[in-house]
Amino acid sequence: MFDADIYIKRRNILKDQIKSGVILFPGNDESPMNYPANTLHFRQDSSFLYYFGLDFPGLAAIIDIDNDEEIIFGYDYTVDDIVWMGPQETMAEKVKRIGVMKTEAPEKIEEKIKKVLASGRRVHYLPQYRGESIIHVADWTGCHHSEVNKKTSNELIEAVVAQRSFKSDLEIAEIEKALEISYDMNTLAMKLSKPGIYEKEVAGAVEGIVLSHGSFTSFPVIFTVHGEVLHGHSHENLMEDGNLLVLDSGAESPLHYASDITRTFPVSGKFTDLQRDVYNVVLSSQIGAIEKMAPGVSFKEVHLTAAKIIASGMKELGFMKGDVDEAV
């Protein structure tokens, strides 16, 4: 977790942008795998983490801009919980570390939100992507669940995107931590891959690297000799001489900043002449895109630069004909 001053500053910037009303941030809940006590690995909502930093389930937060009040809603752990989990901080102790002074029980949030709406004030929230979060927001705001994501706040979306698009030195350091894990994931995959073994043997070792760093993957590992299947999550193929492998993988830093690296390499450790030629076209497009990036340059301009380099390279190799600009 960052220092409290960082979270306070982030929330103050957001309040200055939104100006009035109440901002609602539902945190994520546990997701049961096959019964309530057997859950999938918990992952907190990223925007909740950005403004509040608390990385455990069962939370929600509101920022009441008009009354200059911030509240975290969550329960203290019971004695039964502590038997299973060991000693735990109280909610008051936890929220103090992020500069919030007030906590309330989760059942109070619906009353708070409905009072805000009854007074004619706006409740701002981001699009929700989990079923339970959609249900929570529907209950709290009194709307049908099918309407929840139709009533999101464009002002809040734009403010959060603008704020989170700029990374501090501390955030960049977190991203670098994730990238260091990615480096180990990729180099291990290259060392282990060879004809006659299955993708799953290497994919398992790659995921083990992440766990050995005390981290988790930022998304399910894609490791396949069938790179033409963009999100191929099966690892059942046998590697053969002449195959190309695609590893699309990433890790998270301790504060959930992520890496996402895709690399292609030969099973045998050596490209054929044609594979090398195509690989170099793709590499040139990546370098060209990196060189094109600068303040004031749009994503579209960078994208088209890469696309033109690829089209030009494919034309030189005989895979395409005609005018490159027209094709792109």
If asked whether residues 279 and 253 sit together in one domain, one would say: no
Q: 133: closest CA among 152, 117, 114?
A: 152
In tens, the pLDDT along 13-41 reads 999 999 999 999 999 999 999 999 899 99
Render pLDDT for 118-127 as a digit per residue (tens, 0 to 9).
Answer: 999 999 999 9
pLDDT at 84: 87
**135 and 184 share a domain?**
no
Per residue in 49-58, pLDDT (tens digit) is 999 999 999 9
Alpha-carbon span 248 to 303, nearest angstrom: 20
From its phi and psi, is residue 6 left (phi > 0), alpha (psi between -120 and 50) or beta?
alpha
State whether 9 and 126 are in the same domain.
yes
Same domain, 59 and 144: yes
Asked if 203 and 221 touch (Cβ cutoff 8 Å), the reply is yes
Q: Which of 110, 138, 164 is the last residue of a domain?
A: 164
Q: How many domains does the chain have?
A: 3
Give the end of a domain, one of 125, 148, 164: 164
* Statement to judge: residues 157 and 221 lie in one domain: no
Distance CA 44, CA 98 (A): 16
| Dist CA 48 CA 27 (whole Å) | 6
Q: Which of 164, 186, 215 is the last residue of a domain?
A: 164
Name the DSSP class of 269.
S
Distance between CA 45 and CA 125 in Å, rounded?
13
3-state secondary structure of 150: helix
Sign of CA dihedral 190, 191, 196, 202: negative
Closest CA to 253 of 227, 225, 214: 214
Q: Which two tokens stand for residue 245?
A: 């492998």
The answer to whether residues 27 and 54 touch, using CB atoms and an 8 Å cutoff, is yes
pLDDT (tens digit, 9 = 90+) per residue, 187-239? 999 999 999 999 999 999 999 999 999 999 999 999 999 999 988 889 999 99
Rounded to whole angstroms, the Cα distance separating 127 from 148 reads 8
184 is in which domain, residue-wise? 167-268
- Cβ burial of 289 (10 Å; 0-12, 13-18, 19+) is middle
Specify whether the CB–CB gap between 140 and 109 falls below 8 A: yes
CA angle, residues 299, 303, 308, in degrees to nearest 5:
150
Please indicate, yes or no, whether residues 24 and 62 belong to a single structural domain of this protein: yes
Same-domain status, 117 and 58 = yes
Q: Give Cβ neighbours of residue 301 (< 8 Å, ≥ 6 apart).
A: 292
Q: Examine the domain organization and report whether 9 and 150 are in the same domain.
A: yes
Average pLDDT (104-116) is 96
Half-sphere exposure for 24 (CA within 13 Å, toward CB) = 28
Q: Are residues 24 and 153 in the same domain?
A: yes
Size of the chain, expressed as the number of residues it contains? 328
